Amino acid sequence: MSIGYACQTIGIPNTSSKNCTLKNANEEKLYQIISYNLDSLDHILNYNINNGIKLFRISSDLIPFASSPANTLEWWNLFQAKFIELGDKIKKHNIRVSMHPGQYTVLNSPNTDVVYRAIKDLEYHNRVLDSLKVGKNHKLVLHIGGIYNDKEQAMLRFITNFKTLDQRIKDRLVLENDDKLYNIKDVMEIASQTNSPVIFDNLHHKINPCNDLRDEFSWIQECKCTWEQEDGNQKMHYSEQNPLKRLGSHSNTINAEVFFNFYNNINREDIDIMLEVKDKNLSAVKCINAVSKEKSIKNLELEWSKYKYLVLEKSHEDYNSIRKLLKEKDNYPVIPFYNYIDHAMEKESAVGGSVNAAQHVWGYFKECATEKEKKLFESKLSSYTEGKISLLPVKKLLWQLTNQYQQNYLLDSYYFADVIETI
């Protein structure tokens, strides 16, 4: 059983992706962007390896305009060595990767141009996975598409167009229920014709259920049968509704207890769960810890070291509660621990808490920083207190000092997540 996240990280340096507009796209620019994105992917893989995350979705933005005539680069040749290096790393560490062409890749459109572009896009995605030389258990996830006033015909068109695809693409494709048009029953029906494995998405199912009384766990079990030996373990998507946004919007974070119960209800080891959530890797680590068999408080202490100063900034009350919670070294209070973290993270930072946390972080440099650096920090912090600047420049300075003086305890801190986002 693996738990993973999609496309991007939070709070991890050198893992961002770049893109460009069609207008600015040229060979040199595209080359640089691809090179940058492949390096970022490398750093993401390193992070995943170091944090025991074995499931990851590679962003479709890896190669900009890859399925468009605007990109004339033979990127699979130009970066062949890098792809092989990345693929070796993936295989060596037993990571399962996937890709997920977005909502604009529509294989069942009545418009032949749209279908042509969809096929080009599937070829692109498959080419990335082929370039990594990873097996057929590393999947391409696809939705069915539109309805165009005639669902039956639209489903048939999907099946017909699917059959024209290259065998290597067919072998990788897996089909997912969506939140509007094709429910899990529809997808199962189509998949039985295309011989494709099916991804069950729990939130899509909640929003777009089928006229069938079976609960989500029965459907998960049903979907298992569509996964054959060479497809690898069954995969599913798990997400929770953001209560403040429109129906279908992913939550900011996964609730540890809700996930724990869901996972225990599935009660199987041979399933991989892709989380779709705003805080990405943070929730992946959270969910891994929530269901971990190794119930050691050391894992929570490691998490605490990363969240600590952000929690201190947002909520001194939760900060104190967590400190108290972690004093009992024989316990593994994973659910209350993350409940306090979530509670703190929901809060907006106030000036008092922000100053307090910044001063705590500054404490790491009290001994080593020069007088000039000290002056700079104090002046930035008072500018912030006086409302002249935002908190970001203060954190940027602390981040720079963290790197300069290699303060290991701070290097992995989520306190700097918003700074890292701007680099």
Q: Is 343 exposed, middle or buried, given 0-12, 13-18 or 19+ CB atoms closer than 10 A?
A: middle
Tell me the two tokens of residue 190. Answer: 């189509």
C-alpha span between 241 and 15 (Å, rounded)? 27
Q: Kindly tell me which of 348 and 371 has the beta carbon lying closer to DNA.
A: 348
**Which position among 147, 156, 258, 417 is part of the footprint of DNA (CB under 7 A)?**
147
Indicate which single residue of 50, 164, 390, 408 sits in contact with DNA (rule: CB under 7 A).
390
Q: Is residue 237 involved in binding DNA (CB under 7 A)?
A: no
Minimal distance in Å, beta carbon 72 to DNA?
16
**351 is a contact residue toward DNA (CB under 7 A):** no
Distance CA(293)–CA(306), nearest Å, equals 22
Task: List, as own/partner pairs, every contact residues 68-71 make where C-beta atoms lie below 8 angstroms and the sequence separation is at least 24, other chains included.
Answer: 68/22, 68/120, 70/22, 70/25, 71/25, 71/30
In the bound complex, what is the minimum distance in angstroms from residue 29's beta carbon to DNA? 7
Per-residue H/E/C for 350-412: CHHHHHHHHHHHHHHHCCCCCHHHHHHHHHHHHHHHCCCCCCHHHHHHHHHHHHHCCCHHHHC
94 forms part of the interface with DNA (CB under 7 A): no
- C-beta of 340: minimal distance to DNA in Å? 27
Site membership for DNA, residue 23 (CB under 7 A): yes
Closer CB to DNA, 52 or 110, in the complex: 110
- The region of 46-54, 143-151, 164-172, 356-364 touching DNA under the rule CB under 7 A is 143-151
SS3 of residue 77 by DSSP? helix
Binding to DNA by residue 180, rule CB under 7 A? Answer: yes
Q: Which of 19, 320, 349, 403 is in the footprint of DNA by CB under 7 A?
A: 19
Residue 7: partners with Cβ closer than 8 Å, 6 or more residues away: 17, 57, 58, 59, 61, 280
Rounded distance between C-alpha atoms, residue 394 and residue 411, angstroms: 16
Q: Does 145 bind DNA (CB under 7 A)?
A: yes
Q: Is 112 in the site for DNA (CB under 7 A)?
A: no
Q: From 111-119, 219-227, 311-319, 328-336, give the range in contact with DNA by CB under 7 A.
A: 111-119
User: Which residues have CB under 8 Å from 184's CB, separation 6+?
Assistant: 177, 198, 200, 205, 209, 210, 219, 223
Among 74, 81, 92, 103, binds DNA (CB under 7 A): 103
Query: Maximum CA pair distance of the chain?
Result: 74
**What phi and psi values does residue 96 have, to the nearest 5 degrees?**
-105, 120
Does 327 bind DNA (CB under 7 A)? Our answer is no
Minimum CB distance to DNA, residue 180 (Å): 6
Compute how many residues bind DNA; rule: CB under 7 A.
37
What is the nearest approach in angstroms of DNA to the Cβ of residue 59? 8
Q: How far is the CB of 22 from DNA (least distance, A)?
A: 4
Kindly tell me which of 208 and 402 has the beta carbon lying closer to DNA. Answer: 208
Dihedral of the CA atoms 392, 396, 397, 400 (nearest 10)?
170
CA distance 126 to 132: 10
* Interface region with DNA, contact rule CB under 7 A, candidates 97-105, 210-218, 340-348, 352-360: 97-105
For residue 90, which phi and psi values (nearest 5 degrees)?
A: -60, -45
Least CB distance to DNA at residue 19 (A): 4
Using only the alpha carbons of the chain, give its radius of gyration: 23
Binding of DNA by 117 (CB under 7 A): yes
**Minimum CB distance to DNA smaller for 150 or for 270:** 150
Burial of 18 per CB tally in 10 Å (0-12, 13-18, 19+): middle
Nearer to DNA, 20 or 291 (CB): 20
Q: Footprint of DNA on this chain (CB under 7 A)?
A: 7-8, 16-24, 29, 68, 102-104, 106, 109-111, 113-114, 117, 145-148, 154, 180-181, 245-246, 249-250, 390, 392-393
